[in-house]
Copies of this chain bind each other. A is one copy, B any other.
Amino acid sequence: MEKLDRFDIAILKILQHDNFTPQRDIGQKIGLSAAAVQRRVKRMKAEGVIQRNVSVINREKIGRPITLFVEVIMESEKAEFIDSTKAIFRTTPEVQQCYYVTGDADFMLIIVVPTMHDYELLTRRIFFGNNYIKHFRTMVAMDLVKVGLDVSLDAIVL
């Protein structure tokens, strides 16, 4: 865990909202020179605090309007089965997010597809074709109330 001061936090807050914000503007907003901002951003990238920089694409505007949640329950928790199943989910483009969890389910997936028919085909491919999967439970997203990868930076202990 890296040590970050209030300037770093302030920079991260801005960047996780809009990473095209000019460093001059950031500097002005938080009371630092552009060069200082530049160095801090560079450092945080190198440290891995800033993991990556991405554009978020509107799934509806490109014909992928269906978002689904899938809870997957495995037949067994054997590491071998778990790992191979992780690999499948990781490499399936329609699987936007995949988490290995404790609790009632083993995996939680978020899947984005053009139509329910595509989802049906997908289930045949990745669920019914996998003998380690006992069963799965699907929920359809009706409203994407809040979508992002933002991390709360408000109450960071300095």
A32 interface residue per 8 A CB criterion: no
Within the complex, the shortest CB–CB distance from A101 to chain B, in Å, comes to 4
The reply to whether A86 and B143 form a contact with Cβ atoms under 8 Å apart is yes
- Interface code A93-105, partner B: CB below 8 Å = 1, 0 otherwise? 1111111111111
Contacts A49-B61, A112-B151 given; does A146 touch B95 at CB 8 Å? yes
The reply to whether B156 and A4 form a contact with Cβ atoms under 8 Å apart is no
CA distance A103 to B153 in the complex (A): 33
Residues of B within 8 A of A147 (CB): 97, 99, 149
Residues of B within 8 A of A138 (CB): 103
CA distance A100 to B102 in the complex (A): 22
- Interface code A128-158, partner B: CB below 8 Å = 1, 0 otherwise? 0000000001111111111111111110110
Sorted from nearest, which 3 A-B pairs have the closest CB atoms?
Answer: A103-B139, A93-B152, A15-B55
The reply to whether A48 and B61 form a contact with Cβ atoms under 8 Å apart is yes
Q: Which of B52, B58, B60, B90 contacts A146 (CB 8 A)?
A: B90
Contacts A96-B151, A151-B62 given; does A57 touch B53 at CB 8 Å? no
Residues of B within 8 A of A142 (CB): 100-102
Residues of B within 8 A of A157 (CB): 63
The reply to whether B18 and A53 form a contact with Cβ atoms under 8 Å apart is yes
Within the complex, the shortest CB–CB distance from A151 to chain B, in Å, comes to 5
The reply to whether B53 and A58 form a contact with Cβ atoms under 8 Å apart is no
A59 interface residue per 8 A CB criterion: yes
